Amino acid sequence: MKPMISPVGRSSCTSILIGKKATVDGSVIIGRNEDAKTAWPKHLAFNQHQIKKNNIFKSKDNKFQITLPNERFSYSSTPEWIDKYGVFEEDGINEYHVAMSATESAYANDRVMAVDPFDEEKGILEEAMITVVLPFIKSAREGVERLGKIVQEHGAAEADGILFADRDEAWYMEIGSGHHYVAQRIPDDSYAVVANQLAIQVIDFSDKKNFITSPGIQDFVYQNNLWPKNKPFNFRLIFGTHDDSDLTYNTPRVWSGQKLLTPSVSQDPESFDLPFIRKPDHPISIQEAQRVLSDHFNGTKYDLTNSKNEGQPAYRPIAVATTQESHLLQLRDEDMVHWLAMGIAAQSVYIPFYPQGTQVPTMFKYGKEEFTTNSAYWVFKMASVLVDRNWSKYATNLVNTQKATNLALNKLRVDYDKKLAQEKDNAKKIDLVNEANKKLADVAIKNYQKLIAKLITAQTADSPLRFKIDPNL
């Protein structure tokens, strides 16, 4: 039995799922921060409807291989700048209004790994999940079932958390070992914030409406003495980790997200008992969901932008320098929004792209590991680097740019929503969508280019080689 493996260069993520009765407008929202390296660009892609016979997917990361359906639905995604280690499309919305986001959530419990042998070289990895699932499903539940079948047949080479949503439901799925998984429907009036721990708690096997599990998971657990039969079947306790490192790396992120959305409840950031499901104190807006994924313990004694915490942070925050992109996938009736913030969410802006587009805005197609000026990813990262030189001094410039850009983006999106509602011709609708996506991208990038120019100009005075003669001499 080999240990579970992780893809090259991957790190950790924070996710959020919100039910339709917990949001201000009745939309279902899922999203997360994709964290890997401080310099590892992402692109945006609009993958078109396709009929392809003998459609076989082969992973570049391991030997996982699967025959796919001939018909592929159109979908948005955020692939890596290079597919050497796999495609890592990571997140998107397909033409049936189904959203999906896949993340490496946690390492499996050692005792579980020891009794669930599988061939790690042929198991599905995070890098392939969006590619082999999202283009072929018509509902969130169907997504859980499709990925579940793949895990049963091929195994999973890592412990993952996968987010699914459609216009009615949000589902969270966790793979706890090579072949075993559970999925739970997020109650309509609730939300979940998940860090790098297995999060799902007690499973009700009789409740088929709200739970989906791998066949035989109970027998597997009981036969291997992983949990007593006379106790509620707690997936988190059976399959997850409960290490001291979790108390600084994982639970504080969940605590922080729940503190923002349910401030009426007092909790300890170093608690293993934070609930998977929470009800918000009030309906959640998309801006509040963005605030969660942008959080670095703002305004608390743990805030990493506070000079007192430099070099000795107490806890790992939600927003970190290794974030490649942050996304929120929002579905309501016929409306779909792929909110995308390149780089660190706290220093970027969420652009409300139309996922049904066919033309990717130019600068969202470019960007390699080394800095270039023609890449959307690098525009936002450059602004981050400049602000980081002195956060207290330059944060005001950043915040002002974020506020102005968000207002402009939201107004532009509303204007095009109205135009699309009035247009009946499908071809002309796609033209409008492509036009809107281009304008949305241009507004965000141009505003950040102006911010960069302002910061560079101001920072010419920050040189240690400054010399000023006293006028009295």
pLDDT digits (tens, 9 = 90+) for 101-130: 998 665 556 667 667 666 566 788 889 999
Which of 49-53, 153-157, 454-458 is the least confident region?
Answer: 153-157
Residue % of the chain over a pLDDT of 90: 80
The reported pLDDT for the residue numbered 6 is 33
The reported pLDDT for the residue numbered 299 is 87
The reported pLDDT for the residue numbered 467 is 80
Buried b (16+ CB within 10 A) or exposed e, 195-230: bbbbbbbebeeeeeeebbbbeebbebbeeeebbeee
> How many helices, marked H, and strands, marked E, lie in the chain?
11, 18
Alpha helices in 155-273 (DSSP H): 217-223, 235-239, 246-249, 251-261
pLDDT digits (tens, 9 = 90+) for 384-415: 999 999 998 999 999 999 999 999 999 999 99
The reported pLDDT for the residue numbered 265 is 97
What's the CATH architecture for 14-346? 4-Layer Sandwich (3.60)
The reported pLDDT for the residue numbered 10 is 40
- Concatenate the DSSP letters of all residues of 249-291 into one string: HTHHHHHHHHHHH-TTS---TT-TT--S-B--SSPBPHHHHHH
Domain ranges of the chain: 14-346, 389-461
Element of type H or E holding 132: helix 126-133
Which of 223-227, 245-249, 394-398 is the least confident region?
Answer: 245-249
pLDDT digits (tens, 9 = 90+) for 264-292: 999 999 999 999 999 999 999 999 999 99
pLDDT class of 335 with cuts at 50, 70, 90: very high
Mean pLDDT of the region 199-216: 97
Whether residue 370 has pLDDT greater than 60:
yes
The reported pLDDT for the residue numbered 305 is 87
pLDDT class of 136 with cuts at 50, 70, 90: very high
Whether residue 85 has pLDDT greater than 70:
yes
d(CA 431, CA 21): 33
The reported pLDDT for the residue numbered 106 is 58
Whole-number average pLDDT of the chain: 92
d(CA 92, CA 446): 25
Q: Which residue has the higher pLDDT, 71 or 242?
A: 71
Which of 101-105, 225-229, 236-240, 397-401 is the least confident region?
Answer: 101-105
Whether residue 350 has pLDDT greater than 70:
yes
- Point out the residues that are catalytic: 13
The reported pLDDT for the residue numbered 2 is 34
pLDDT digits (tens, 9 = 90+) for 150-163: 999 998 877 889 99
